[in-house]
Amino acid sequence: MGRAGWPSSIQHRERERERERRRTCSASARLPRRASPRCRSLARPRRGASAVRTHARPPMPPLLLRGGSLLRLYGCGCGLSSANFSSSKLALTRLNLMMAQTRATYSRRAASKKTEIKKDEELVLEKEDVAESKLDIEQIRNDPDQLQSMTVKDLREITRRMGIPIRGNKKDLVSTLMSSLGKEGTSAVEKVGMSEVPSKRKGGASVEVEQKIGSSEVISETPSKRSRTKTKSIKGTTHEQKSRINVKQSKTSVQKETLVVQGAVAKAGLGLGVDQEEPWTMLVHKKAQPSWIPYNPKVMRPPPLSKDTKTLKILSWNVNGLKALVKSRGFSIHQLAQREDFDILCLQETKMQEKDVEVIKEGLLEGYTHSFWTCSVSKLGYSGTAIISRVKPLSIKYGLGVPDHDTEGRVVTVEFDDFYLLTAYVPNSGDGLKRLTYRVTEWDPSLGSYMKDLEKSKPVILTGDLNCAHQEIDIHDPAGNRKSAGFTNEERESFGTNFLSKGFIDTFRNQHPDVVAYSYWGYRHNARKSNKGWRLDYFLVSESIAERVHDSYILPDISASDHSPLGLILKL
């Protein structure tokens, strides 16, 4: 016991503890709530503690601890006074930023590793799928009859693996696979890997196949890409076997278009080529028959005759405006003469006026000194026909001899020793078929009768734009053009009645009965590149000289007009 009035040492220590507890609680109320109570008690130093510690600051603990623990360790390790450690919020902000950066780094590394693992797994699965696909196709090739027992889903998977984009029912799928694989194990189209399946495009895409029997190569292309994949076809297919790929392509829910790409041709040494730069070698038809094949003049034209055989080459071309062709379309008649070396050139739709004829004649062609022009007088810059020749004719006649038909410059007739040659531009029935009645009841009968009158003395050759696709094989979409000018029932019947039934022979169809070839492609919708055309241009000859026709052909690669030139080689 001490002096009177002084508490004992025990009481003194208890009072000091109580004061310390109260000071701690007061300081905790001013600290951020995120700090733990223990941290709050350590944040405010006791009385008498030194203001600043002189020892070095310890290194930061690992950032695997929580924010409160880090703050506590930070404060305890540094031992800073209240004056230098009053901003605890700033310390917590920095710690949170460091932890966020660390988490982001870990997340990026984990995501990158996960992506690599996923890519490796996809690559392994793709290789397994390709191997499995080859095995399945090989099994079907050895036993094609098992296609009948497969489901539609399985059949579609097989066609996808083989690169044949087809839609249809089970019968169509089985038929296509049987045709492509061959009933005896031979294949018309080589297996295509998963990465070579043609891509789909909006609005539909075409499948193009090129087969060369000599080199036994198959080249398949997708129209959306210019890349080309070459694979070797299986040897063992004879010239007597034909392979077909029927591709049904849906353009809308109502309209379906069938593309048939014909394989090897039954004629020895005859191959069909399809190239993105040669779209006419791709058969595009909505009602194609199994025996139809696309036209390829490179391989379908007969070999040239010997030099001892006298021939006459006649070319015919609807130029759709001669002045425009000469000035700006990039291919001149002079170039055509150099390339084809023709004897006679017949032109339609020259759209010339009589005042311009002499100017055009002077610089058009050298060596072709005989030219005969007729122009429309009822409507200037409309219609018009001409014949340019280096062989002098015996006589020339303009028109049909009927005033009602001879004001538009549609017919020129020249007489040679052995035949009459006519170039004609038959009237189009027009929008809304306004001239249909005039054409089928007046014009066509007059032209047919005129030809028969000439035939009484000599055979007749008629060439030009006759503005009629006579058969369904002559137009890419027969069903959709029943009421279109050039394919109405009335025009087709008139063509047969006034020309074919009177003994005139369609030379191209006589030479190529199952070949789909077009001579006209509209400028709209890029029809030439998709080979959606019409065969409107003809050579019709009298039956008496049909056997003298060596070749009747089309030059689809010349695209300076919406029509392509066509040619006839006649043995004299």
- Asked if 286 contacts 538 with a C-beta cutoff of 8 angstroms, the reply is no
- For residue 58, give every residue at least 6 positions away whose Cβ sits within 8 Å of its Cβ, in sequence order, or none: 77, 78
Residue of 285, 405, 470, 563 marked catalytic: 563
563 is in an annotated binding site: yes
Interatomic CA distance for residues 447 and 435, integer angstroms: 16
- Asked whether residue 467 is marked as a ligand-binding residue, the answer is yes
Catalytic residue among 74, 295, 425, 520: 425
CB of 476 closer than 8 Å to CB of 536: no
Is residue 418 part of the annotated active site? The answer reads: no
Point out the catalytic residue in the list 465, 474, 506, 537. 465
Q: Which residues pair with 461 in a beta bridge?
A: 421, 541
Q: H or E stretch including 179?
A: helix 170-181
Q: How many CB atoms lie within 10 A of CB 495?
A: 24
Question: Could you give the angle at the alpha carbon of 68 between the alpha carbons of 66 and 74, nearest 5°?
Answer: 100
What is the Cα–Cα distance from 473 to 8, expressed in whole angstroms?
A: 126
CA distances from residue 526 to 28, 521, 558 in whole angstroms, order as listed: 82, 8, 15
Answer yes or no: 450 catalytic.
no
SS3 for 370-394 is EEEEECCCCCCCCCCEEEEECCCCC
Question: Residue 137: how many CB atoms within 10 A of its CB?
Answer: 18
| Helix/strand/coil percent split, the chain, to 5 | 40, 20, 45
Tell me: is residue 476 an annotated ligand-binding position. Answer: no
563 is catalytic: yes
CA-to-CA distance for 345 and 107, rounded, in angstroms?
77
Note whether 558 and 331 are within 8 A (CB). Answer: yes
Q: Is 318 annotated as a binding residue?
A: yes
Coil/strand/helix, residue 507: helix
DSSP string over 258-301: EEEEE---SSTT--B--BTTBGGGS-B-TT--TT-EE--HHHHS
Type of residue numbered 538: Y
| E-assigned strand segments in 416-491 | 420-425, 460-465
Query: What does the chain come to in residues?
Result: 572
Does residue 206 contact residue 223 with C-beta atoms inside 8 Å? yes
Helical residues (DSSP H) of 4-142, grouped into ranges: 9-30, 37-43, 67-78, 88-142
Binding site for Mg(2+), by residue number, is 318, 349, 465, 467, 562-563
Q: Give the residue numbers annotated as catalytic, written as ranges.
A: 425, 465, 563
Binding site, by residue number, is 318, 349, 465, 467, 562-563
